A and B are shown apart, each in its own frame.
Chain A
């Protein structure tokens, strides 16, 4: 690991490497007669001092960011069993195709006659999603899953309003991701929590009691955040529809369903898809993603504009949807990510998606079997995309799930998602995806067994983990109490 002369610093900030007067990249000199800015721009509108950006050479920049990259765990270097985040293999060819110069050069306001290649891709991505999800129409505009949720809720709201109905509540199970209620609130609706039973399934009595003529949507993650396919789903859809509400599916966990079961066939009215999960686009350390939203026919008129349409052999951006909720992205969405999505679709093919889901399910259940002897509260399963375990009763001497997660880093694994869903105490969500080999899964289970053993013999070692990462556990309280959010020159 690169450690500089100062032992308290892993890698200097780029600002700390700056030397006044040093330049990174040369710019060409001007080839036109000079116009002095002073002649047209009044001094109050001109910048006085240049932006204080670092002054470094290109080799410095290369070394600095390469070294920073080496401080990360990532899919390319480690098993990354982050539950519900679906850290699967990201094919390199997809990046290369998305960066082809003729795609990179496409201005978003180009006339459609000059954008036929990219429009065909977008049209095809929609077609694939429609077919795979059993929905009637898609928008590709949302930039991420969360924006997809907001879009889906706004579309549903517009649908109800077009029918003269004022429905203000969004019912959400207590096992849901925090984005669901946050998106409902952003759409101006009230989030109402529906209880789960101890086994994680939706409490139907509570759902019945809360469903009413004011319910706009029931939002449900399928398969659920416990990694299980909700067996009552048809009954739930039926209850929701009978109340005149719409069924919203959070597609965060679609990686075990695609090709096996189409949400639309279950009666789902609106869903969003996280392409950085199921469709393998790189997570990028936290974006960019894309969050396409699919709907049934009755909701199509409300989707964002522009929509991609095909007329004869010509693709067009169509703005003429008077009932549309408008726009959620400055242009037409994260096209570079959608090109990667398209590549992944073509690489998998219809059969490949089925194989993908089946092997994701196989891996999760295999991991459950391997981990079962270690976790006394292990649910029976079967699981879909991930296995959710509780650290309670597994670790001794006050070792907690967080400690075990940190210790996994020392064993060469990224940590699973921890303390979510909140309905499971000391939760660990472990998602292996279809890509991890049995050998890796065995190694992971062995590491977990070693940590359980360490909690008996050397608990301090676990409680103070990690020991081998570039930095040790951080003082997060200090970070929040005395926020230092930027570099300042002394």
Chain B
């Protein structure tokens, strides 16, 4: 498929090459292994493929979902992907030849600028794979920068993020110390107990995995810095339209799962890891960075820069093994951020907050009290009179995903269901959801 040569042309090309048959070009390959039989089907036409894929997609159609837990269902304006999937963006490579890649480079520069402004941080890179690997890279960077060997991560950080950090840190000589938290937030006293001269960094997620705001971030930041360690803050980008950005409480490195900014849920990916830091850390940053410069005629232009950090130059001494960023996802996010604008983000955050607080209030009235009495943004845990696994199963029959049964990650919270509400839910949706929950718990 997609081969333009006619049989006649192929013969002529072989003649130009100077071989009699195609197989003469395979002389170096082990003859006994060439062209193995393959137990695979033949090709489909585009028409057949479309029908096949639509059938597969339809199979899991659901009406509504209240699942959040690290991946959020926000409305994505049509323009976002209409622009991002233009072939000029999607079928270009990493912008090595800057003169022929200014579109990609300028959009990344805009992305870096918007990420800095979102976090109130000084510098940002061109993105990493996802929020989890961004957090892991931040831990490694903090350890290298401080020369220390322990990273503190409270269990209010997403369990799957913690798993990725564990994988990345396992052989790096950096120890991961998971801090158990009670009451839904990280208490300064918990950190004080373990903070010391060996602590490279503390990672906080705000709002955290339970949806609670980490109410002590300012104090935690002070504690960590007094001990000479770094603060790594993980955020939910939409929440930053309302809650304090990491730069304001002194985070040295800010990371986030960028999916809520224009990327579909898509069963987990591709997403985009946002990564920003203080300017004095920039030369230790993993991944691509775009900078502004001029061309030989003095015209403003953009280029990949600070490449002395990277694997293609530094090989085993690079700051990370990462090559690509998630350029197309970063582009979609950039477009989404432009469409929202300054006021749009604030209003979007407010809508999320309003709807979630309405649902939490209604549930409370019907006998589903919140598990943690803490300030929250658009996600919260409620205690259920019936095992949440059972609720999930029963509501799925009605075409509704009820949320995440927390017992899957925290056995002590086996009665709790983590519920997320975004701007896409109407009051009617939520009233119906409360009715369904009441029904199955009766």
Q: Given A32-B427, A143-B269: A93 and B161 within 8 A (CB)?
A: no
Within 8 A of A (CB), among B73-103: 73, 77, 79, 81, 83, 85-103
A363 vs B25: C-alpha distance in the bound complex, in angstroms?
11
Within 8 A of A (CB), among B400-438: 401, 404, 423, 426-427, 430
Among candidates A58, A91, A181, A261, residue contacting B316 with C-beta atoms closer than 8 Å: A181
B2 lies within 8 A of A435 (CB): yes
Ordered by A's residue number, 14 sampled pairs between the chains whose C-beta atoms are within 8 Å are: A51-B120, A116-B59, A188-B171, A326-B167, A333-B269, A346-B41, A346-B44, A362-B10, A369-B18, A381-B25, A382-B28, A434-B3, A437-B5, A487-B109
The yes or no answer to A41 lying at the interface (CB within 8 A) is yes
How near does chain A come to B346, taking the closest CB pair, in angstroms? Answer: 5
A121 vs B92: C-alpha distance in the bound complex, in angstroms?
26
Query: Could you say which residues of chain A place their CB within 8 Å of the CB of B439?
Result: none
Within 8 A of A (CB), among B294-335: 294-301, 303, 305-308, 310-318, 320-329, 331, 335
Q: Given A132-B40, A409-B97: A331 and B268 within 8 A (CB)?
A: yes
A23 vs B295: C-alpha distance in the bound complex, in angstroms?
34
B103 lies within 8 A of A72 (CB): yes
B325 lies within 8 A of A51 (CB): no
Among candidates B49, B98, B337, residue contacting A343 with C-beta atoms closer than 8 Å: B49
A30 vs B356: C-alpha distance in the bound complex, in angstroms?
11
The yes or no answer to B65 lying at the interface (CB within 8 A) is yes
Query: How big is chain A's contact interface, by range?
Result: 35 or more
Give the top 9 A-B pairs by smallest Cβ distance, nearest first. A188-B171, A331-B268, A349-B43, A284-B328, A76-B87, A108-B268, A330-B132, A288-B270, A104-B264
Q: Given A56-B341, A185-B321, A261-B33: A102 and B61 within 8 A (CB)?
A: yes
A178 lies within 8 A of B312 (CB): yes
Q: Given A24-B338, A69-B83, A288-B270: A80 and B93 within 8 A (CB)?
A: yes
Query: Could you say which residues of chain B place their CB within 8 Å of the CB of A417?
Result: 96
A35 lies within 8 A of B267 (CB): no
A31 lies within 8 A of B91 (CB): no
How near does chain B come to A443, taking the closest CB pair, in angstroms? Answer: 13
Within 8 A of A (CB), among B268-287: 268-272, 282
The yes or no answer to A260 lying at the interface (CB within 8 A) is yes
Among candidates B166, B344, B396, residue contacting A23 with C-beta atoms closer than 8 Å: B344
**Complex interface bits, A361-398 against B, C-beta within 8 A gives 1, otherwise 0:** 11101101110000000000110000000000000000
A105 lies within 8 A of B264 (CB): yes
The segment from B123-131, B145-153, B195-203, B222-230 found at the interface with A is B123-131
A290 vs B329: C-alpha distance in the bound complex, in angstroms?
13
A487 vs B109: C-alpha distance in the bound complex, in angstroms?
8
Number of interface residues of B (CB under 8 A): 202
A437 lies within 8 A of B4 (CB): yes
B2 lies within 8 A of A286 (CB): no
Give the residue name and chain of the B residue nearest to A90 (CB): B91
How near does chain B come to A41, taking the closest CB pair, in angstroms? Answer: 5
Within 8 A of A (CB), among B46-66: 46, 49-50, 52-62, 65
Among candidates B100, B393, B426, residue contacting A469 with C-beta atoms closer than 8 Å: B100
Give the residue name and chain of the B residue nearest to A360 (CB): B3
Among candidates B38, B58, B257, B291, residue contacting A480 with C-beta atoms closer than 8 Å: B291
B16 lies within 8 A of A369 (CB): yes
The yes or no answer to A55 lying at the interface (CB within 8 A) is yes
Interface centre among B53, B81, B393, B423, by most A CB within 10 Å? B53
Query: Could you say which residues of chain B place their CB within 8 Å of the CB of A95?
Result: 85, 90
The yes or no answer to A318 lying at the interface (CB within 8 A) is no
The yes or no answer to A61 lying at the interface (CB within 8 A) is yes
Q: Given A47-B244, A485-B290: A53 and B299 within 8 A (CB)?
A: no
The yes or no answer to A325 lying at the interface (CB within 8 A) is yes
How near does chain A come to B266, taking the closest CB pair, in angstroms? Answer: 5
B327 lies within 8 A of A286 (CB): yes
The segment from A8-16, A238-246, A452-460 found at the interface with B is A8-16
Q: Given A33-B358, A107-B265, A485-B282: A349 and B83 within 8 A (CB)?
A: no
